[in-house]
Structure 1
Amino acid sequence: MRFLPEEEQRRLSAACFARSDLTLEQLWMRYFALGGSLSLLELDAYLNGLVPLPRVDRDMLAHAVNERLDEVTGPARAPYSHSAQDAKPLHGPLKALVDLLDGAHRAPPERLPAVVTEAGRALDLTINVYLADYDQRTLVPLRPGAAELDIETTVGGEVFRSSGTTLTRDGTLWTVLLDGVERLGVLEIVPADGTDPEDPALREQCRWLAALLGHLVTITTKYGDGLDRRRRHRRRGSPAELLWQSLPPLTGATDSVVVGVSVQPVYDLCGTVFDYALSENLAQLAVFDAGVRSQEANTAVVSALSAYRAARHAGASLAEQFAAVGAELEGRPGAPAVDGVVAELDLATGVVRLFRAGHTAPLVVRRGESVPVTGPAAPRFASAGRPAAAELRLEPGDLLALCSRGIAETANCAGEPFGRDRITGHLGQHAGELPPEIARRLTRAVLDHGEGELRQDAGVLITRWVPPR
């Protein structure tokens, strides 16, 4: 097989990118969605001829550019390292796979391993599915007899952490399993003899495979417990069960914003909830935190969340959402006080407006440094009176973090709290990761600091703004 010289491929890809009307951040997000795992800085350095890239990453980058060029008219397409067949999702082997998965829509969760085996045969692939446990420590295999994989130390775990794709020396392809943009686990894909695992057409088919299987995992989990039980390492308490059913997906994204959530302790969550809603123009964000762990706190934060969602769904303004939460909590005398933040991010301008009720100020981290967030805070949610809104303007790539009190206040055995300085340092250190992974690492760090013991829930919602060009 004749390969295009690397420098010629880079030069032509860079020229096509310049005509694609994409920002570097938008190109990186498209490359990431295809399974790429390199950082934004590495991509920028390659396009400017400063560093080389592996052939598979060069081809994924070319494919990301070509997807954009297919949306517009005129410019020539970026070249692959070698001539490759056109990979369309509903032709050839993949069409058989789509038909197979579509026919499995009434399958119970326990049948998923058999469905995956048949799907692999349709593409001459051996496929093993690993789902992340709810604590996001291990990847749990669906194949009987297979061993769990540690998320921190294994190839599969690295693929999960980076939401990427990796080809090992033995020709095994590992790719993240997604439902939309939410990480569910990973796929271990072993091509048949004679199949080139670096073929862009195969990569495209595997990407569609992962997307379809991710949807199937989510759908079957809604009406059966088979997969849900596999992802649990112990029983959840009833307060935690209620809160988990109330939480949105732990990851949400549009072209302009990425949101990631993480909460601990997973099996004993009691007094903290988060919410978000993404639209073309706005990212609406909220956190409600009782600061204590009791049945009363559990009921109070769920009530606050329900009032907030009802007001938001009805089109209420941010101030009206704040008042609706206040009215709900005022109707529950004797319940623990609930702190919180309701906020909205204008996706065109980066302007954030927020109302705070007795809650630690949100954190903004810019280029590794904390940016002061000032503005008034009400002592509590209230139905009467309209507190002044705080306002700040994000810059592209900034991280906005809404934290429960348990993040900063969790102490080690010496009584030293985790603190806002550690939060800022952590966010700056891992700013190159995606928000769900940044959030996961932060709550893991807090749990480690508390030596596995949390007196308060530790939760964080992290938002990164990626503005349109």
Structure 2
Amino acid sequence: MTSLLRRTHMTPPDLLPDAVDEAIVHLGARATVYLADYTQTLLVAMARPSIQPGPNLTIDGTLGGRAYRMLVVQTAVVDGEAQLWMPIIDGVERLGVLKIVVADAGSLEDRAFRRQCWWFAHYLGHLVTVLDTYGDGIDAVRRQHPRTLSAELIWQLLPPLTSGTDKVIVSGRLEPSGSVGGDVFDYALSDTAAEFAILDATGHDLQSGLAAAAALAAYRNARRQGHGLFEQTESIHRAVQDAFEGRMYATGVLGRLDLGSGRLRYLSAGHPSPLLLRAGKIVKTLDAGRRPLLGLDMREGNIAEEMLEPDDTVVLYTDGITEARDEQHQFFGIDRLTDFIEREVSEGTPMPEMVRRVCRRILDHQNGVLQDDATMLLIQWTTTGQAYLEPTR
């Protein structure tokens, strides 16, 4: 880790694989860095100068993909090569996998060696996130498909898709990743609270992206000034109304979860009602706390409250999820969404992977072509910590 720190101190993002090569030899191994593409369908090997990169791996159906999906270390001996596949994470944000090759297959089951590799991969995850802001090298690996201008705008505004503390985990996803228009989400975590919002501006073009950007900026500005949910909502309303003079509007849900008590306060503006997931079942629709659409000349509304139990999850989504239509014009619907989530929970699927699978299922329902943006955001409250997310099993 010291070698990796020293080597990356003044390193551009595209030379990260070289730094990994130099550092991993101290563990008696060699390694290949694979990063997940933005569609979360492929693991793409980072190229090294004069060395041909390995082939891309599918996230579904490969050993490396399983390590990524389930946050579980994978081992194998393939053609005499002893391999350890270690998830690369930044906090709880999945970024890819590190393929580690050792000379002695016995090292694969050495707990001390695996622990060292986990710390190495975890620190590598931090480096990937930091170095990504310095240039386009890491983005070039992950961007396997072109983006529209609107999608470029939205992606630059998003927080990490997954984040968490020992009291809460938040995970979200936008589809289609290359042409999303007016959907956006945001959150802010502290030791005492999790604040969050999901917003959906009308349309699917650059104007939608601009409206979503204005709404998000207004939300962050009000939140960071310490304003409550009602003031945050009114700030979004005024920003959209002033900027677009009634030509655009947005729906949204804003909330604040007290991490000490589980008290959830929320307000919904013309948006699909959140779902409450408890003990593996959708037990309730959170349909109180309503107000009109943001950007229209109507401001009345009220804030609702719900007391969560430990390990409850609040499920937020845009109408592009439930109103996705197949070739027979059948909506995906709330019942399919509920059944899918409950099945994934029963199978022990980690929350970030469940979000990925839901969005992939929506794409499959529409044969890979969405008629509307499909966005999901999950917030889980816990009093027992997130130790199970450490990929050491």
Q: TM-score by structure 2 length?
A: 0.91
1:325 is aligned to 2:236: yes
The corresponding residue for 1:181 is: 92
1:351 is aligned to 2:263: yes
**1:368 CA drift (Å):** 2.2
Q: Cα–Cα, structure 1 residues 245 and 134, in superposed 2: closer, same or farther, change >3 Å?
A: same
* Structure 2: stretches of 5+ with no match in the other structure: 386-393
Contact kept in structure 1, 2:3 and 2:23, CA below 8 Å = no
* Structure 1: stretches of 5+ with no match in the other structure: 1-96
The corresponding residue for 2:284 is: 371
The corresponding residue for 2:324 is: 410
Deviating runs (4+, > 3 A) in structure 1?
382-386
Pick from 41, 64, 68 the counterpart of residue 137 of structure 1: 41
**1:197 CA drift (Å):** 2.0
Pick from 270, 273, 279 the counterpart of residue 361 of structure 1: 273
The corresponding residue for 1:453 is: 369
The corresponding residue for 1:15 is: none
CA distance in 2, matches of 1:446, 1:194: 41
Q: TM-score by structure 1 length?
A: 0.77
Pick from 154, 159, 172 the counterpart of residue 62 of structure 2: 154
What is the SS of the residue equivalent to 1:348?
coil
Contact kept in structure 2, 1:397 and 1:464, CA below 8 Å = yes
Q: Cα–Cα, structure 1 residues 304 and 448, in superposed 2: closer, same or farther, change >3 Å?
A: same
1:272-294 deviation digits (Å, cap 9, x = unpaired) = 00001111111111011024202
**1:309 CA drift (Å):** 0.2
1:112 is aligned to 2:20: no
1:439 is aligned to 2:355: yes
**1:369 CA drift (Å):** 3.1
What is the SS of the residue equivalent to 1:255?
coil
The corresponding residue for 1:342 is: 254
Structure having the higher strand fraction is: 2
CA distance in 2, matches of 1:454, 1:291: 15
1:269 is aligned to 2:176: no
Letter in structure 1 aligned against 2:11? A
Q: Equivalent pairs: percent with the same residue? A: 39
Contact kept in structure 2, 1:236 and 1:267, CA below 8 Å = yes
1:210 is aligned to 2:121: yes
1:380 is aligned to 2:293: yes
Pick from 338, 349, 360 the counterpart of residue 424 of structure 1: 338
Contact kept in structure 2, 1:260 and 1:437, CA below 8 Å = no
Q: Cα–Cα, structure 1 residues 334 and 295, in superposed 2: closer, same or farther, change >3 Å?
A: farther
What is the SS of the residue equivalent to 2:290?
coil
**1:99 CA drift (Å):** 3.3
Q: Cα–Cα, structure 1 residues 168 and 291, in superposed 2: closer, same or farther, change >3 Å?
A: farther
**1:27-38 map, 5 Å:** none
Q: Cα–Cα, structure 1 residues 120 and 212, in superposed 2: closer, same or farther, change >3 Å?
A: same
Root-mean-square deviation (CA), in Å? 1.7
CA distance in 1, matches of 2:292, 2:304: 14
CA distance in 1, matches of 2:53, 2:7: 27
**1:54-133 map, 5 Å:** 97-133=1-37
CA distance in 1, matches of 2:111, 2:289: 53
